[in-house]
């Protein structure tokens, strides 16, 4: 018998899930993916992977993949050719633009796909339709980090690389659960613990990460500013602030000092006794090197930007910026959310955070792109675009996002999408959102195309093609190039992702030095990297901050309560979050056998006292009811959450979708909706026999 099968091929690429950016090998046999093998040389994960990384090949092979463009006719989707589908998209967008102007179009850009695809989509929107109505899902994720850290430090990105955690003496984590959400950063925390470092975790929930802590601080949800102000008050009281750093490298200290004087005792707000806060202040304040790690417990609130600036204050107060083992590090969420922001998929900046409103920058971009009339004003953000469906937005393009499940107040999202004249969804699966589309375009998955993802530590990681896309599905960048040609645009003659990347380098000073050749090696490069000789920048703000005056900025920030607080009618505070085995709206992890087997259904954590009072038993189904809708989930009775607080998974759709309950109230500075805090009532569901 002759063996005709292809020998196993190993293709080195980057995990398509979270912003840690682990390297891995896709294993290919006979043109099909058959598994994942570790890639030991990547410094980020050193060959280790979490369960999502290990199974990331499964969804690629799913029989549910979209394989042909679809056009809705009389309410039904009908298969179409690429010519039919793209001609229709081009003509509808052109017609809407000509009749109603640039504000009538909305572009929602993915954080799941390579930089090259994010860049080309925002370029197309700006060049063809002169609109800044361009945004990506960082808006509902780390938008407040981009806004807050820019104000405090002059750059909206994480300051230090992940490995650097091991150089810290004290690791201060707040609103972040890396053991489940960023497991290969979680591994660094475990290593730090073994090396005898001190770990502080502040979270309203006793998470798997909190279990690692030497000092766990449970406090009331959404009282972050009061807690951090109080820690700072006690650092100053105990004379642990870094006077030299404050004097030489910062401005605004007096304003901060005055504000925190009102926060000596915050027990009535936070639930944390003053003695405990004093102790945390003493530990963080006396460390030689202390690093702050935070995530959505800080950002997904109407106080998001202020929470982030408070953490900037805390780091600067103790001089913990600009050295190994220090800094303020938002753990970026999606595999390429850092990149989508860096690429200018944002309503006010081009790639590299070059501001659209700046006349000189705008003129330069017009010259480089060979166009005139680029808009300078701020465009509509993600949630604002949903609010504007029907008026003024009439046509929308959703690229690799699933808003019906992932945005706040799903009923509002569905009603809004129905108001559009024309909706395009470009995805790899028939999602809950795609059902609302007029045209569905089938993209290729990460395993079927080349490009780069930028991880949460500003490191560019290569994505490499391992297999062909199914049916007629096409790499997303190719779809945009084709569409640009149909719109008669110049400057889109790209034959490969590398061509597009070279266009990014041409227009983006902070990335000009990063060639594909230089990032072949697994260590890759961290931006900023302005020239081909530049070694990249793993640690930011070493000598001076990135702000125009070179200084770090303190802000006096007062505590504000969340937009919707528990009351008699809706007595529970609902937090939402992630679990290890699923990723967002489960289009991908829901198609990996093992992951789905682990957690097949939505659940909600409820405190034991509350469960006893309401006669709810572990494993029973309960209903949550709020001002905007209701959801059903399995009760998990636990003391991980305190009395009066619930935590529901964000991964499920239909009745189990938590976003039927969440609030669209926005952080005024970053336009982040309050996904981590709303008020609900709990009901036991009596099973009908």
Ligand X SMILES: Nc1nc2c(c(=O)[nH]1)N[C@H]1C(S)=C(S)[C@@H](COP(=O)(O)OP(=O)(O)OC[C@H]3O[C@@H](n4cnc5c(=O)[nH]c(N)nc54)[C@H](O)[C@@H]3O)O[C@H]1N2
Give the footprint of ligand SF4 on this chain (CB under 6 A).
15, 17-18, 20-22, 45, 49-50, 52-53, 182-184
From the list 137-145, 192-200, 267-275, 573-581, the region that binds Mo ion by CB under 5 A is: 137-145
Structure tokens at 313: 């204050």
Interaction of residue 429 with ligand X, rule CB under 6 A: yes
Binding residue (CB under 6 A) for ligand X from 334, 508, 660, 663: 334
Choose the contact partner of 140 out of ligand SF4, ligand X, Mo ion, none; CB within 5 to 8 A by kind.
ligand X
Asked whether 577 and 642 are in contact (CB, 8 A), the reply is no
Task: Tell me the sheet residues that pair with 143.
Answer: none
Asked whether 158 and 138 are in contact (CB, 8 A), the reply is no
From the list 156-164, 263-271, 428-436, 507-515, the region that binds ligand X by CB under 6 A is: 428-436
Give the nearest distance from C-beta 172 to ligand X in angstroms. 11
Please report, as residue ranges, which positions from 108 to 127 form the binding site for ligand X (by CB under 6 A).
Answer: 110, 112-113
CA distance 676 to 502: 39
Binding mask 212-231 for ligand X (x = CB under 6 A): ---------xx-x-------
Binding residue (CB under 6 A) for ligand X from 172, 446, 501, 554: 446
From the list 134-142, 239-247, 629-637, 638-646, the region that binds Mo ion by CB under 5 A is: 134-142
Task: Tell me the sheet residues that pair with 383.
Answer: none
From the list 98-106, 398-406, 616-624, 680-688, the region that binds ligand X by CB under 6 A is: 398-406
Binding residue (CB under 5 A) for Mo ion from 141, 184, 331, 467: 141
Q: How far is CA 258 from CA 247, 252, 263, 320, 470, in A?
A: 17, 10, 10, 21, 62
**Residue with CB nearest Mo ion?**
333
Residue placing its CB nearer to Mo ion in the complex, 71 or 337: 337
Choose the contact partner of 106 out of Mo ion, ligand X, ligand SF4, none; CB within 5 to 8 A by kind.
none
Residue placing its CB nearer to ligand X in the complex, 465 or 541: 465
CA distance 230 to 199: 19
Give the nearest distance from C-beta 337 to Mo ion in angstroms. 6
Cα dihedral sign, 465-466-468-473:
negative
Interaction of residue 443 with Mo ion, rule CB under 5 A: no
Choose the contact partner of 659 out of ligand X, ligand SF4, Mo ion, none; CB within 5 to 8 A by kind.
ligand X
CA distance 119 to 451: 11
Residue placing its CB nearer to ligand SF4 in the complex, 220 or 585: 585
Give the nearest distance from C-beta 431 to ligand X in angstroms. 4
Interaction of residue 572 with ligand X, rule CB under 6 A: no
Choose the contact partner of 400 out of Mo ion, ligand X, ligand SF4, none; CB within 5 to 8 A by kind.
ligand X
From the list 252-260, 375-383, 442-450, 495-503, the region that binds ligand X by CB under 6 A is: 442-450
CA distance 587 to 557: 40
Interaction of residue 333 with Mo ion, rule CB under 5 A: yes
Binding residue (CB under 6 A) for ligand X from 13, 122, 176, 664: 176
Please report, as residue ranges, which positions from 178 to 237 form the binding site for Mo ion (by CB under 5 A).
Answer: none
Task: Tell me the sheet residues that pair with 630.
Answer: 625
Phi-psi region of 329 (alpha: psi -120 to 50; beta: other; left: phi over 0): beta
CA distance 578 to 297: 11
Q: How far is CA 214 from CA 114, 199, 273, 654, in A?
A: 39, 5, 18, 40
Half-sphere exposure of 362 (CA within 13 A, CB side): 18
Interaction of residue 662 with ligand X, rule CB under 6 A: yes
Q: How far is CA 360 from CA 172, 357, 525, in A?
A: 41, 9, 29
Asked whether 538 and 161 are in contact (CB, 8 A), the reply is yes
Asked whether 336 and 451 are in contact (CB, 8 A), the reply is no
> Which burial class, exposed, middle or buried, applies to 280 when counting CB atoms under 10 A from its CB (0-12, 13-18, 19+)?
buried
CA distance 13 to 452: 9
Please report, as residue ranges, which positions from 61 to 90 form the binding site for ligand X (by CB under 6 A).
Answer: none
Give the nearest distance from C-beta 16 to ligand X in angstroms. 6
Structure tokens at 188: 């660094």
Choose the contact partner of 445 out of ligand X, Mo ion, ligand SF4, none; CB within 5 to 8 A by kind.
ligand X
Choose the contact partner of 203 out of ligand SF4, Mo ion, ligand X, none; CB within 5 to 8 A by kind.
ligand X
Binding residue (CB under 6 A) for ligand X from 476, 503, 610, 632: 476
Asked whether 220 and 297 are in contact (CB, 8 A), the reply is no
Asked whether 210 and 201 are in contact (CB, 8 A), the reply is yes
Q: How far is CA 206 from CA 129, 193, 281, 598, in A?
A: 48, 17, 20, 21
Residue placing its CB nearer to ligand X in the complex, 6 or 64: 64
Interaction of residue 150 with ligand X, rule CB under 6 A: no
**Residue with token string 């009811």:** 625
From the list 68-76, 86-94, 402-410, 613-621, the region that binds ligand X by CB under 6 A is: 402-410
Structure tokens at 629: 């809708």
CA distance 660 to 413: 10
Binding site for ligand X (CB under 6 A): 18, 52, 110, 112-113, 137, 140-141, 174-177, 180-182, 202-205, 207, 221-222, 224, 295-297, 300, 333-334, 400-403, 406, 426-429, 431, 443, 445-446, 476, 575-578, 580, 582-585, 587-588, 650, 658-659, 662, 675-676
Binding site for Mo ion (CB under 5 A): 141, 333
């Amino acid at each position: 018998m002759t063996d005709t099968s292809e020998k196993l091929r190993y293709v080195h690429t980057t995990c398509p899930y979270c912003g840690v950016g682990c390297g891995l090998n896709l294993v290919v046999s006979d043109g099909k993916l058959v598994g994942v093998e570790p890639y030991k040389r990547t410094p980020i994960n050193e060959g280790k992977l979490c369960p999502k990384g290990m199974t990331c090949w499964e969804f690629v092979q799913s029989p549910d993949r979209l394989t042909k463009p679809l056009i809705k006719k009389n309410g039904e989707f009908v298969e179409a050719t690429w010519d039919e589908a793209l001609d229709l998209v081009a003509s509808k967008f052109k017609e809407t633009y000509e009749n109603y102007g640039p504000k009538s179009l909305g572009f929602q850009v993915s954080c799941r796909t390579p930089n090259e695809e994010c860049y080309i989509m925002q370029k197309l929107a700006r060049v063809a339709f002169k609109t800044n109505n361009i945004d990506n899902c960082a808006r509902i994720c780390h938008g407040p980090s981009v806004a807050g850290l820019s104000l405090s430090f002059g750059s909206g990105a994480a300051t230090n690389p992940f490995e650097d955690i091991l150089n810290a003496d004290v690791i201060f984590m707040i609103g972040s659960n890396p053991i489940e959400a960023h497991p290969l950063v979680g591994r660094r925390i475990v290593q730090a613990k073994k090396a005898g470092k001190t770990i502080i975790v502040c979270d309203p929930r006793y998470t798997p990460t909190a279990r690692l802590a030497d000092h766990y601080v449970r406090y009331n949800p959404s009282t972050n500013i009061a807690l951090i102000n109080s820690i700072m008050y006690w650092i100053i009281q105990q004379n642990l602030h870094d006077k030299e750093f404050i004097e030489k490298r910062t401005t605004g200290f007096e304003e901060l000092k005055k504000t925190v004087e009102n926060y000596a005792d915050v027990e009535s707000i936070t639930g944390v006794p003053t003695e405990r806060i004093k102790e945390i202040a003493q530990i963080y304040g006396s460390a030689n090197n202390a690093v702050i790690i935070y995530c959505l417990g800080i950002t997904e609130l109407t106080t998001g930007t202020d929470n982030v600036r408070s953490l900037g204050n805390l780091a600067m107060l103790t001089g913990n910026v600009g050295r190994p083992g220090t800094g303020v590090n938002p753990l970026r969420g999606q595999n390429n959310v850092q990149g989508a922001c860096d690429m200018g998929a944002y309503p006010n900046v081009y790639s590299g955070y070059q501001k659209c409103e700046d006349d000189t920058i705008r003129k330069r971009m017009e010259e480089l792109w060979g166009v005139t009339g680029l808009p300078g004003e701020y465009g509509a953000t993600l949630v604002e675009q949903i609010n504007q469906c029907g008026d003024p937005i009439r046509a929308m393009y959703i690229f690799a996002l699933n808003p019906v499940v992932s945005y706040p107040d799903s009923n509002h999202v569905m009603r809004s999408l129905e108001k559009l004249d024309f909706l395009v969804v470009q995805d790899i699966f028939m999602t809950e959102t795609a059902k609302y589309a007029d045209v569905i375009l089938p993209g290729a998955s990460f395993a079927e195309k080349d490009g780069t993802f930028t991880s949460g530590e500003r490191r560019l990681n290569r994505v490499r093609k391992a297999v062909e896309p199914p049916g007629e599905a096409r790499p997303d960048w190719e779809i945009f190039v084709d569409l640009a040609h149909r719109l008669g645009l110049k400057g889109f003659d790209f034959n490969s992702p590398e061509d597009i990347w070279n266009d990014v380098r041409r227009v983006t000073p902070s990335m000009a030095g990063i060639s594909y050749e230089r990032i072949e090696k697994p260590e890759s490069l961290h931006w900023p990297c302005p020239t081909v000789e530049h070694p990249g920048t793993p640690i930011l703000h070493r000598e001076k901050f990135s702000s125009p005056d070179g200084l770090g900025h303190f802000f006096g920030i007062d505590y504000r309560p969340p937009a919707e607080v528990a009351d008699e009618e809706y007595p529970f505070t609902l937090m939402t979050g992630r679990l290890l085995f699923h990723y967002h709206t489960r289009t991908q992890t829901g198609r990996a056998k093992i992951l789905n087997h682990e957690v097949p259904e939505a659940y909600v954590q409820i405190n034991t006292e509350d469960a006893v009072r309401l006669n709810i038993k572990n494993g029973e189904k309960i209903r949550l009811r709020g001002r905007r809708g209701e959801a059903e989930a399995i009760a998990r009775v636990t003391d991980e959450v305190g009395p009066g607080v619930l935590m529901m998974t964000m991964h499920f759709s239909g009745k189990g979708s938590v976003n039927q309950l969440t609030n669209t109230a926005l952080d005024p500075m970053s336009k982040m909706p309050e996904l981590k805090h709303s008020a609900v009532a709990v009901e036991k569901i009596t099973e009908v026999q």
